[in-house]
Chains A and B, each alone.
Chain A
Amino acid sequence: MMHDTRVRRFVGKFLIYLFLIIVCFLAFLPFLWMVRSSFMELKQMYKVPTEWIPNPLTFENFASAITETGMFNYLLNTVFIVAMNILGTVLTASMAAYAFARLNWKGRDVMFVLLLSSMMLPGAVTMVPVYVGWSRLGGIDTYWPLILPAYLGGGAYNIFLLRQFMKGIPHELDEAATIDGAGKVRIFFNIIIPLTKASIVVVAMFCFMGVWNDFMGPLLYINSESKYTVSISLQSLQGSYSSRWNLIMAASAIVVLPCVVVFLLGQKHIIGGIAISGIKG
């Protein structure tokens, strides 16, 4: 009897590990295939039988992805947009979160619910009017439509996340500071911001990935090639280099790499941030 349960437990464990290893292998496989292809010459890729590991390794694809396709320029463009977005989002989302989490003002709860409900709204509903608005303001083919929204709250999700963290700070801290004569601005910058630093970093990372990965924004607003971002340029490669999959994979790897680095740096916080949205949402 005792023996039986132990065997069953062992088999159960074994099956769980097997399942997880297979799933993770499958999840990782596309990355391996991308990297493998990016280090190959074309004739290696089309060889029969399949050459699984590139031999010899070619770095040429990366070089030509950077120089030939203008990827370097697109990387700079994207870094600029991302940096401007992070600045705006961190500033205005944490300001709003502070107002919703720690200040008493009439209309606060109604406004917060309205703001949150905008997350449920399909982007398609506002897409046309916002586009028409930007075209009337002369914003087409500029970075304004991709940057300015970050300075207007930076997304309801980020506000929600920061508010969640700010609610956890003891109120005695604000009260003590108020007695010492600090105003709301001082409290915000000297107490709240330092104490929520960790979650601000999470928001900055979400912002980085959201903007770096954004496809719809640049697709709608950017026309001239010199202003392309990485995701839009990657899509245009498909047309102009359609048969050179090694080059496309190298370019993809270049675009994917920063995301992976940011994820590895902040994985604990990022996963924690995602998990919170489900439990408290």
Chain B
Amino acid sequence: MAELQTRAAKSMRWYQRRERAAGWLFAAPALIGFLALTLLPMIFSLYWSLTDFNVFKSETNFIGLDNFRQMFSASDLYFKDSIKATAYYAVLNVPASILFSFAVALMLSSNIKGRGVFRSIFYLPSIIPAVASCMVWVWLLNQQYGLINTVLKSVGITPPAWIWSKDTVIPTLVMINMWNTGGTMVIFLAGIMSVPKVYYEALEIDGGNAFHKLIYVTIPMVTPTLFFNTIMAIINSLQVFTQGYIMTGGGPSNASLFYCLYIYREAFQNANMGYACALAWLLFLIILALTMVVLKSQRHWVYYSDGGR
């Protein structure tokens, strides 16, 4: 009997050891990928941010925090512009995209026919290549023959200069980005649809109207989704690149020189790899700090029906 038990225990241990090995082996490609494409590059990037690494120069020197000092000094002509453009874009885009996609999701969640069709049409723009959508928008906004200006002129409105003026370029890009909020909308819609019906019924019995339902049930119940979407919107807004690269080239007069566009230029046009790494790490720290702020704030406004995880 005792012998049988030890044999059972042995075979159990053998089984567990095999399972452990299998776990590592199955996850190995992903773990190697994490090591080679995320962790090691992060370490290199952090180290290079403290050097003057430039592809065209033969030697690389350790310069401590000089790169970071340079950003905030007068010798960097573009850093301030890129911060300004990116912050302006994010400040407009985060609330605009959240409010707009929430409004659409709310409408879609009501008892209507053809919800699936509406949802698909609204989501469709999010799946097309960014380059194609940039092309289409440049042509839509074309000052002489574009659809938007043609329509505006025909009703007697003088159209603004859209992406060709430094005052309107950022609001225009934010407006265009509303076209890509389908993903956020779908997440909101799923959040709203998962609110248990009993809450609405209870409110109805107490004589609440549609507005009460929105304020006292829907919004509190979707705060976890709102929380997620806000964080993602912040992260994505601060990393905007393609529109600036394709549609405006950072212009006019650097008004849309987004931070990631600036990093790209420093790294791949000026070959200042060290400086680009420092810029990238600053962005990472900013994103981390903002995420922390939202994360810390969540206990004041995010409601988890399971009492938080």
Contacts and interface: CB of A to CB of B under 8 A. Distances in A.
Partners in one complex: yes
20 contacts: A100-B27, A104-B19, A105-B24, A120-B287, A122-B280, A125-B42, A125-B277, A125-B281, A128-B276, A129-B42, A129-B44, A149-B33, A159-B30, A184-B18, A184-B26, A209-B127, A235-B246, A238-B138, A255-B132, A281-B228
Interface string B16-30: 101111111111011
**Is the contact region of chain B dominated by helix, strand, or loop, or is it mixed?**
helix
B130 A215 contact: yes
A172 to B, nearest CB: 17
Given A105-B24, A120-B288, A124-B279, 10 more contacts: A12-B210, A20-B108, A23-B104, A27-B125, A96-B27, A118-B38, A121-B38, A153-B34, A231-B129, A248-B135
Interface string B121-135: 111110111111101
B186 A215 contact: no
A1 interface: no
A127 interface: yes
Nearest to B273: A128
B212 to A, nearest CB: 14
Of the four ranges (under 10, 10 to 19, 20 to 34, 35 or more), the interface on chain A belongs to 35 or more
**Is the contact region of chain A dominated by helix, strand, or loop, or is it mixed?**
helix
A108 B125 CA distance: 38
B34 A278 contact: no
A193 interface: no
Interface stretch (A55-63, A79-87, A194-202, A256-264): A256-264
Interface in A94-121: 95-96, 98-100, 103-106, 108, 111, 114-115, 118, 120-121
A77 interface: no
A37 B12 CA distance: 69
Interface in A123-173: 123-133, 149, 151-154, 159
A124 B37 CA distance: 12
Interface in A192-231: 209, 212-213, 215-216, 219-220, 230-231
Nearest to A13: B112
Contact of B29 (A30, A151, A263, A274): A151
B301 interface: no
B263 interface: yes
Contacts of A121: 38, 42, 284
Interface string B213-234: 0000000000001001100000
Interface stretch (B71-79, B139-147, B162-170): B139-147
A34 to B, nearest CB: 5
B267 A128 contact: yes
Contact of B41 (A106, A130, A237, A245): A130
B183 interface: yes
Contacts of A278: 186-188, 190-191, 225, 228-229
A122 B104 contact: no
Interface in B280-295: 280-281, 283-284, 287-288, 291
A24 B239 contact: no
B69 to A, nearest CB: 20
A130 B37 contact: yes
B199 interface: no
Contact of A152 (B26, B30, B48, B127): B30
Contacts of A98: 26
Given A99-B26, A255-B129, A124 B187 contact: no
Contact of A105 (B23, B42, B125): B23
Interface in A226-281: 230-232, 234-235, 237-238, 245, 248-249, 252, 255-256, 259-260, 262-264, 267, 270-271, 274-279, 281
Nearest to A213: B129
Given A118-B38, A212-B129, A248-B139, A46 B122 contact: no
Most buried by B among A118, A122, A130, A274: A122
A33 B112 CA distance: 29
Given A95-B30, A122-B284, A252-B135, A30 B140 contact: yes
